[in-house]
Amino acid sequence: MGTLAEFQKITDTEDFFDFFDLEYDERLIQVKRFHIMKKFGELVEKAKGHDMGSESKLLEYYRFALLTVYKNFENGYSPSAADVWEMFDKPSACGTCSTSSSCSTIEEVSNGTHACISHNTVSF
């Protein structure tokens, strides 16, 4: 396992598994990537408010968190409809901004649904 600085530079799901030397099913990652990383991210955020004592303990917590989330999905966990649809209420509806908070112009587009209008082109 590497250092906390190395961990903080990781952006790809598979790289998190490789960093922690965890085996994973590529097909499961392809299908559940968003949900796995969302739950993992929530656990990482929770850890920020606690003193783990050392960098190695914090990384062990992160490793355990990722393994736990992955195993839940491997064993058939499926997010509730509320969890899935909640993401559509968040202001990041363009491909450019969907993974960051760089949207500067958020506007209500319909019935409480918000979208980024910073970028006027959408591609599929």
Q: What is the pLDDT of residues 28-84, one digit of tens each?
A: 899 888 889 999 999 888 888 777 788 889 999 999 999 999 988 887 765 544 454
Question: 124: number of CA atoms within 13 Å, CB side?
Answer: 0
**pLDDT band at 1; cut points 50, 70, 90:** confident
The token pair at 106 is: 């958020």
Instruction: Answer yes or no: pTM beyond 0.75.
Output: no
DSSP-assigned letters across all residues of the chain: ---HHHHHH--SHHHHHHHTT----HHHHHHHHHHHHHHHHHHHHHHTTS--SSHHHHHHHHHHHHHHHHHHHHTT----HHHHHHGGGSS--STTTTTSS----EEEEETTEEEE-S------
